[in-house]
């Protein structure tokens, strides 16, 4: 029976490590095993090194680390199976809800946004991360894993940014830009440079790179450029200021009517109230939009704009809208028997308030101005008769 020295044990352990077995307990197992074989089969004065090499070779087909790979595979197999199932399920679920969401959206049925949120949410928060975990098993090089991670992460960010955008949730633009930047400036260069070097992946690399450029390009085409947004903001704000000027002139023209016989008719009182509530609402919206209650003429240099996307109202504003709509309905009723212009088209009377609730600030401001102008002009029409 051969006796193995401590140096030989170190030699074997080093060799096992050098052959790619990294798990300590597996190293110890293999070490003990190979030592047992040597001790039992090598003659006392036999050649240790060549016998060891022959023995260790019987442990594997191509490489020793296959044993570790097999071990890890068995250890993760259970999770692997559940993950695979969850991935397929969540993927099918998100595809199905996505299709339903789009269908509902185009048919203008209620519930569309719920399906869209579920669809995009499931795909970006469950399906894509699982896809990464499962796919990264096939990638042995760290570089490939990083590329995959970046790709999946950018995909998640991009789909979330679109979801946030359509739901009018905050930070959608930040999400979108960070995803496009990570695709365009990090993922694409690394992917292209590593892929183009391998002859067998050349065509694949080129096509996938083109697809990535197209995705970034399409997204950037869809969004407005910062300059475009500014131009639009300036336009909106200018329109508002001009409208205000017209309303002020109209108010001045009517000033005498209000002065002379203040509570002459029911419509005059209503006109007065409607104009006031409209003013209050407008000021409140301007405060929300710009942070100041009145937009100055040099708004551009102070960067005080009415934005294109602003919407939503607080409780006070909603209460104001409701009281305005009540006044308007009353006003409409009084115009039934005379040739005055109505402020609510008759077919819209039932859900007129909703038009305000869901509209953008910039549209609501225009609407309020129109209402003020109609009632004031009505007064002048009447008085001129």
CA distance 27 to 19: 11
Residue bearing tokens 């067998």 = 200
Q: Which of 16, 42, 67, 277 binds another protein (CB under 8 A)?
A: 67
Q: Which of 14, 17, 28, 293 binds another protein (CB under 8 A)?
A: 28
Compute CA distances 343 → 245, 270, 285, 373, whole Å.
21, 12, 21, 10
Instruction: Between 6 and 43, name the residue whose CB sits nearer to another protein.
Output: 6
Residue 322 engages another protein in binding (rule: CB under 8 A):
no
Instruction: Tokens for 89, please give them.
Output: 């399920």
Q: Which of 18, 25, 49, 336 binds another protein (CB under 8 A)?
A: 25
286, 293 contact by CB (below 8 A): yes
Residue 63 engages another protein in binding (rule: CB under 8 A):
no
Q: Which of 2, 37, 86, 215 binds another protein (CB under 8 A)?
A: 37
Residue 71 engages another protein in binding (rule: CB under 8 A):
yes
Instruction: Between 72 and 208, name the residue whose CB sits nearer to another protein.
Output: 72
> Footprint of another protein on residues 72-111 (CB under 8 A)?
73-75, 77
Residue 61 engages another protein in binding (rule: CB under 8 A):
yes
Residue 230: which residues within 8 A CB-CB, separation 6 or more? 305
Residue 9 engages another protein in binding (rule: CB under 8 A):
yes
Q: Give the DSSP letter of residue 312.
A: -
Instruction: Tokens for 352, please give them.
Output: 């007129």
Q: Segment near another protein (CB under 8 A), from 26-34, 96-104, 316-324, 357-365?
A: 26-34
Q: Segment near another protein (CB under 8 A), from 71-79, 125-133, 221-229, 298-306?
A: 71-79
> Footprint of another protein on residues 286-305 (CB under 8 A)?
none
DSSP helix/strand/coil, 211: helix
The alpha-helical segments, DSSP class H, found in the chain are: 6-18, 24-41, 48-57, 65-107, 112-122, 128-136, 142-166, 172-181, 188-197, 202-222, 226-260, 266-290, 299-302, 315-334, 352-357, 361-384
The site that binds another protein (CB under 8 A) totals a number of residues, namely 27
Residue 29 engages another protein in binding (rule: CB under 8 A):
yes
DSSP helix/strand/coil, 311: strand
Q: Which of 30, 147, 152, 163 binds another protein (CB under 8 A)?
A: 30
Instruction: Between 12 and 153, name the residue whose CB sits nearer to another protein.
Output: 12
Instruction: Tokens for 236, please give them.
Output: 């909106």
Q: Give the DSSP letter of residue 91.
A: H
Q: Segment near another protein (CB under 8 A), from 1-9, 106-114, 291-299, 300-308?
A: 1-9
Residue 250 has phi, psi (to 5 degrees) of -60, -40
The distance of Cα 113 from the centroid of its chain, to the nearest Å, equals: 14
| 381: nearest Cα among 271, 303, 301, 280 | 271
Residue 227 engages another protein in binding (rule: CB under 8 A):
no
* Contacts to another protein by CB under 8 A: 4, 6, 9-10, 25-26, 28-33, 35-37, 58-61, 66-67, 70-71, 73-75, 77
């Amino acid at each position: 029976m051969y006796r193995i020295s401590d140096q030989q044990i170190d030699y074997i352990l080093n060799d096992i490590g050098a052959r790619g077995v990294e798990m300590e307990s597996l190293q110890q197992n293999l070490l003990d095993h190979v030592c047992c074989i040597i001790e039992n089969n090598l003659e006392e004065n036999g050649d240790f090194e060549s016998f060891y090499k022959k023995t260790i070779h019987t442990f594997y087909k191509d490489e020793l680390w296959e044993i570790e790979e097999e071990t890890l595979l068995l250890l993760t197999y259970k999770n692997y199976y559940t993950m695979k199932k969850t991935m397929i399920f969540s993927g099918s679920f998100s595809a199905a809800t996505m299709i339903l969401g789009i269908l509902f959206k185009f048919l203008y049925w209620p519930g569309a946004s719920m399906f869209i949120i579920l669809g995009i949410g499931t795909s970006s928060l469950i399906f894509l991360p699982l896809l990464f975990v499962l796919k990264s098993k096939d990638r042995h090089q760290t570089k490939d894993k990083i590329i995959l991670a970046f790709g999946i992460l950018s995909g998640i960010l991009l789909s979330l940014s679109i979801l946030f955008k359509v739901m009018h949730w905050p930070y959608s633009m930040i999400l979108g830009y960070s995803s496009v930047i990570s695709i365009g400036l990090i993922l694409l260069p690394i992917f292209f440079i590593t892929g183009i070097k391998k002859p067998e992946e050349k065509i694949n690399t080129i096509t996938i790179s083109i697809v990535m450029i197209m995705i970034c390009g399409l997204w950037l085409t869809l969004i407005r450029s910062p300059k475009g947004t500014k131009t639009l903001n300036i336009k909106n704000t200018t329109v508002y200021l001009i409208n205000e000027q017209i309303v002020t002139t109209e108010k001045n023209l009517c000033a005498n009517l209000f002065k002379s016989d203040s509570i002459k008719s029911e419509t005059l009182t209503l006109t007065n109230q409607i104009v006031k509530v409209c003013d209050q609402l407008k000021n409140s919206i301007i405060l929300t939009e710009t942070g100041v209650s009145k937009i100055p003429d040099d708004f551009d240099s102070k960067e005080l704009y009415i934005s294109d996307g602003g919407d939503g109202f607080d409780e006070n504003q909603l209460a104001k809208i409701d009281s305005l709509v009540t006044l308007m309905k009353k006003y409409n009723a009084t115009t039934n028997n005379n040739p005055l212009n109505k402020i609510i088209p008759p077919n819209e009377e039932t859900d007129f308030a909703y038009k305000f609730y869901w509209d953008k600030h910039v549209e609501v401001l225009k609407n309020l101005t129109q209402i003020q102008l109609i009632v004031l002009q009505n007064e002048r029409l009447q008085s001129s008769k």
